[in-house]
């Protein structure tokens, strides 16, 4: 029996119960956008088998019109969620009639290939956000709650800058993960529930230790709230863990305080800055992939390949040698005996080879 799109959508979301909350929310948002698209195109109440074979192509173009070409990351996120939905439909035998999932993907590739991912170009002034919060945390503050917020914000911003972690990953950090600020590395669970190792420099660990010492509590989350709710057990967040959204707002606030209020800084800019710095200093794409926690090397190549090529250009310019320079060295070398007119000794006549006898003896 053919399923209406809404019913199939709910069935797909039920299969995501084993995924992380962030993944479930991301996929649900993508399917909400897909539903809006279907309504706009007059297909809001159709069956899944009646969907057109080029439906993902049309959805992609609709997203581009809605968000603009500069929001390619948002568009790609929504496409990824709906593509997983269509993979689910094919497994259930409920996909568009007469069209395979592979053919749907191929059509989508044809459209998206003409709109390549816009490579990030981190603003060189981003380190000013770090220096601004570091300087503020050194100033004397009478209000205890404000002092804790400053120490916390300094630790957060430096963790982002030092490690290139996502804001969700920073939010999930516990004090045990960093051994109270004494661990030079930690194993975290990142996007797609994949484990990876992140590394801390000594300065960042100093800031973590200073913050935890000032807190003087037993809460496990590394970064917690220090507002009026502190001291009351809050429903849904009894340990006062700072949310990913709060970490995002922290970066926004310090970017503005650093005098960069006209810039669109986000936590993700720290990841881009970390990656480009590593690549420009000689790191390999595969190493950056592991440090950032990209599931596929293709993701790293697509976003950062131009920085890797820039480093190769630097190596090319630094180590290439003009032909004239090599020719000049040839003129200065000691002359060989043959060039000095010396005669080579005559070869002795070849000796006749002895017969080795019949084969097999």
Q: Is residue 212 part of a domain?
A: yes
The reply to whether 250 and 159 lie within a common domain is: yes
189 forms beta bridges with 195
Would residue 330 be called left, alpha or beta, if left means φ above 0 and alpha means ψ between -120 and 50 degrees? alpha
Q: Is residue 340 part of a domain?
A: no
At which of 297, 314, 331 does a domain end? 314
d(CA 209, CA 180): 6
Q: Which domain holds residue 259?
A: 127-230+238-314
**Of 59, 5, 58, which Cα lies nearest the Cα of 33?**
59
The reply to whether 255 and 150 lie within a common domain is: yes
The reply to whether 255 and 279 lie within a common domain is: yes
pTM over 0.75: no
Q: Indicate whether 339 pLDDT > 60.
A: no
| Terminal Cα-to-Cα distance of the chain (whole angstroms) | 81
Are 297 and 308 in contact by the 8 Å Cβ rule? The answer is: no
Q: Read off the tokens for 98.
A: 């007469």
The reply to whether 24 and 47 lie within a common domain is: yes
258 by DSSP, 3-state: which? coil
d(CA 255, CA 61): 34
Query: How many distinct structural domains can be found in the chain?
Result: 2
304 assigned to active site: yes
- Catalytic residue of the set 166, 175, 241, 272: 166
d(CA 178, CA 183): 5
301 assigned to active site: no
Q: Indicate whether 117 pLDDT > 70.
A: no
Per the prediction, the chain carries an average pLDDT of 80
The reply to whether 103 and 131 lie within a common domain is: no
Q: Look up the CATH number of the domain holding residue 253.
A: 1.10.443.10
Q: Is residue 324 part of a domain?
A: no
Please, where are the H alpha helices in the chain?
A: 5-14, 21-40, 55-67, 72-92, 101-112, 127-137, 144-163, 167-172, 202-215, 244-257, 268-280, 285-292, 297-319, 323-332
Query: Which of the four pLDDT bands, split at 50, 70 and 90, describes residue 62?
Result: confident
- Catalytic residue of the set 27, 60, 161, 304: 304
Most distant CA pair in the chain, distance: 104
pLDDT, tens digit, 9 for 90 and up, residues 136-158: 999 999 999 999 999 999 999 99
Buried b (16+ CB within 10 A) or exposed e, 129-146: bbebbbeebeeeeeeeee
- Catalytic residue of the set 167, 240, 271, 274: 271
- Catalytic residue of the set 24, 71, 268, 301: 268
- Catalytic residue of the set 83, 149, 294, 311: 294
Cβ-in-10-Å burial (0-12, 13-18, 19+) of 293 comes to: buried
The reply to whether 104 and 223 lie within a common domain is: no
Q: Indicate whether 135 pLDDT > 50.
A: yes
* Residue whose pair of structure tokens reads 């935890």 in the numeric block: 212
State the pLDDT at residue 76: 85
d(CA 188, CA 31): 29
271 assigned to active site: yes
Are 288 and 301 in contact by the 8 Å Cβ rule? The answer is: no
Q: Is residue 359 part of a domain?
A: no
- State which of 16-20, 188-192, 201-205, 293-297 shows the largest mean pLDDT: 201-205
Q: Is residue 146 part of a domain?
A: yes
The reply to whether 137 and 78 lie within a common domain is: no
Q: Is residue 119 part of a domain?
A: no
d(CA 142, CA 156): 22
Q: Look up the CATH number of the domain holding residue 59.
A: 1.10.150
d(CA 35, CA 5): 9
Query: Which of the four pLDDT bands, split at 50, 70 and 90, describes residue 315?
Result: low
**Of 86, 88, 10, which Cα lies nearest the Cα of 53?**
86
The reply to whether 62 and 186 lie within a common domain is: no
The reply to whether 192 and 215 lie within a common domain is: yes
Buried b (16+ CB within 10 A) or exposed e, 48-60: bbebeebbbbbbb
pLDDT, tens digit, 9 for 90 and up, residues 264-287: 678 888 988 888 888 777 788 788
- Catalytic residue of the set 191, 209, 237, 249: 191
Buried b (16+ CB within 10 A) or exposed e, 250-259: bbbebbeebe
The reply to whether 174 and 283 lie within a common domain is: yes
191 assigned to active site: yes
Are 260 and 130 in contact by the 8 Å Cβ rule? The answer is: no
Q: Indicate whether 336 pLDDT > 90.
A: no
234 forms beta bridges with 237
The reply to whether 107 and 134 lie within a common domain is: no
- State which of 15-29, 168-182, 266-280, 304-318 shows the largest mean pLDDT: 168-182
Q: Is residue 330 part of a domain?
A: no
241 assigned to active site: no
């Amino acid at each position: 029996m053919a399923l209406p799109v809404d019913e199939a959508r709910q069935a797909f979301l039920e299969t995501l119960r084993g995924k992380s909350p962030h993944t479930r929310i991301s996929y649900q948002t993508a399917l909400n956008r897909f539903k809006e698209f279907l309504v706009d195109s007059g297909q809001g109440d159709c069956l899944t088998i009646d969907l057109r074979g080029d439906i993902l192509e049309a959805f992609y173009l609709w997203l581009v019109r809605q968000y603009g070409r500069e929001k390619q990351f948002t568009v790609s996120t929504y496409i990824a969620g709906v593509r997983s939905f269509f993979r689910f439909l094919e497994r259930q035998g409920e996909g568009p009639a007469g069209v395979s999932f592979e053919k749907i993907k191929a059509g989508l590739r044809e459209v998206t290939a003409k709109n390549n991912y816009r490579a990030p170009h981190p603003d060189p002034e981003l380190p000013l956000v770090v220096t601004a919060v570091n300087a503020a945390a050194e100033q004397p503050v009478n209000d205890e709650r404000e002092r804790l917020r400053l120490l916390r914000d300094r630790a957060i911003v430096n963790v982002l800058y030092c490690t290139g972690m996502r804001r969700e990953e920073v939010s999930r950090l516990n004090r045990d993960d960093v051994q109270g600020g004494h661990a030079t590395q930690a194993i975290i669970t990142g996007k797609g529930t994949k484990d990876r190792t992140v590394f801390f420099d000594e300065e960042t660990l100093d800031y973590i230790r200073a913050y935890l010492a000032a807190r003087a509590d037993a809460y496990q989350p590394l970064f917690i709230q220090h507002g009026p709710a502190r001291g009351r057990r809050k429903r849904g967040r009894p340990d006062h863990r700072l949310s990913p959204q709060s970490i995002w707002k922290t970066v926004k606030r310090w970017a503005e305080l650093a005098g960069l209020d006209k810039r669109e800084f986000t936590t993700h800019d720290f990841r881009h800055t970390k990656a480009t710095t590593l690549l420009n200093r000689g790191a390999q794409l595969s190493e950056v992939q592991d440090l950032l926690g990209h599931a596929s090397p293709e993701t790293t190549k697509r976003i950062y390949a131009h920085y890797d090529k820039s480093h190769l250009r630097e190596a090319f310019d630094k180590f290439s040698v003009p032909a004239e320079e090599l020719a000049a060295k040839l003129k200065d070398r000691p002359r060989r005996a043959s060039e000095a007119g010396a005669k080579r000794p005559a070869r002795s006549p070849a000796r006749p080879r002895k017969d080795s006898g019949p084969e097999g003896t």
